[in-house]
Amino acid sequence: MSGYPLIRMRRRRATPGIRRLLQETRLHAADFIYPLFVRDGRGVREPIDSMPGQYRYSSDTIVKECERAHKLGVSAVLLFGIPSSKDALGKSGYDPNGVIPRAVRSIKKALPDIVVITDVCLCEYTDHGHCGVLEKRGATVRVDNDRTLPLLAKMSLAHADAGADVVAPSDMMDGRVGAIRAELDRRGYARVPILSYAAKYASGFYGPFRDAAGSAPKFGDRAGYQMNPPNVREALAEIALDMEEGADIVMVKPALAYLDVIHAARARFDVPIAAYNVSGEYSMVKAAAQKGWLDERRVAMEILTAIRRAGADLILTYWAPDACEWIRRS
Ligand code: PBG
């Protein structure tokens, strides 16, 4: 071989133009869903310590943030509510004048085109912080699956009534997609799709979110309803069940430590797949970047591209507005 140029694969990487031409995976602004936190009050824009660059907004300031994101190219947002009152049954979660319905109305009024997705779960609204209502059996306390379903259906209805475009149940109760679908259909919302958090793992990566939403369980953990991290076949069973019950879009969550699950779901199912680049995945990069140990933009784009490459159609990410800007400037 001596005397012959050995260069072969490297020809495909020789110039920025060639690299761009041969790029297999591309990110687009339309892939992103931007999660946002809404609380009571007016004029509030409260920084979240555990998630640098993210804020708790009131229903007026959130409109401004949606306008800013929309201008950058973000076409969908996901709303989480932080209510001022909590109780055992999470009543503030299905109040038609609760924090989410009010925010949905004001966003849809100002920006009718933006797709407003609402998170449906009790944990932000219950005083015990669990994703469903509790049942006591002697000394043990458990989350009661079947008694939780009507409450989730009621919450979905309150969100649809306010104008939510999509509802996204994240509680991991069995049968909730079917219960929500039936209620929405019965009440004239057959056209409102369900984005199901189908394969949601009991993950340590939700830490910063629980701080942001004040939704950490007051006792125990979520391992009795969220999935066990080592399992992948079980994730496929969860997704198949949710599809049977009427889920229109299915989600894998978290994303980064579960790329194999996204990939397996993509290979198996012909349904739009979303992946949630969760709070911990965001905040660990932010923290390292603040120390000067990582280049935030470079690492964030690498992560988002990996999630896309694994097979996700949609990515829920706190970087959504930044990523739109980075894509435009790249
Ligand atoms: C509510 C919910 C959680 C997240 C989304 N919806 C927290 C949890 O299950 O404890 C986490 C999102 C994130 O970490 O960015 N059930």
| Residue of 86, 108, 253, 286 with catalytic role | 253
* CB half-sphere exposure, 63, CA atoms < 13 A: 15
Q: Phi and psi for 135 in degrees, rounded to 5?
A: -125, 140
Residues 6+ apart with CB under 8 A from 177: 169, 194, 196, 241, 242, 245, 246, 247
Decide whether any atom of ligand 1 lies within 6 Å of the 279 Cβ.
Answer: yes
* CB half-sphere exposure, 98, CA atoms < 13 A: 28
How far is ligand 1, taken at its centre, from the CA of residue 106, in Å?
Answer: 24
How far is ligand 1, taken at its centre, from the CA of residue 282, in Å?
Answer: 13
Residue among 164, 155, 150 nearest 193 (CA): 164
Decide whether any atom of ligand 1 lies within 6 Å of the 121 Cβ.
Answer: yes
Q: What is the pTM of this model?
A: 0.96
Residue among 170, 164, 59, 63 nearest 125 (CA): 170
Q: At what angle do helices 320-329 and 296-310 cross, to 10 degrees?
A: 100
Q: Angle at CA 172, nearest 5°, toward 166 and 174?
A: 100
Q: Mind listing the pLDDT tens digit of every residue in the chain (330 residues)?
A: 568 899 999 999 999 999 999 999 999 999 999 999 999 999 999 999 999 999 999 999 999 999 999 999 999 999 999 999 999 999 999 999 999 999 999 999 999 999 999 999 999 999 999 999 999 999 899 999 999 999 999 999 999 999 999 999 999 999 999 999 999 999 999 999 999 999 999 999 999 999 899 889 999 999 999 999 999 999 999 999 999 999 999 999 999 999 999 999 999 999 999 999 999 999 999 999 999 999 999 999 999 999 999 999 999 999 999 999 999 998
Q: Is 71 a catalytic residue?
A: no
- Please state, in angstroms and rounded to a whole number, the distance separating the CA atoms of residues 163 and 166: 9
How far is ligand 1, taken at its centre, from the CA of residue 152, in Å?
Answer: 16
Q: Which amino acid is at 195?
A: L
Q: Is 64 a catalytic residue?
A: no
Domains with residue ranges and CATH for the chain: 28-329 (3.20.20.70)
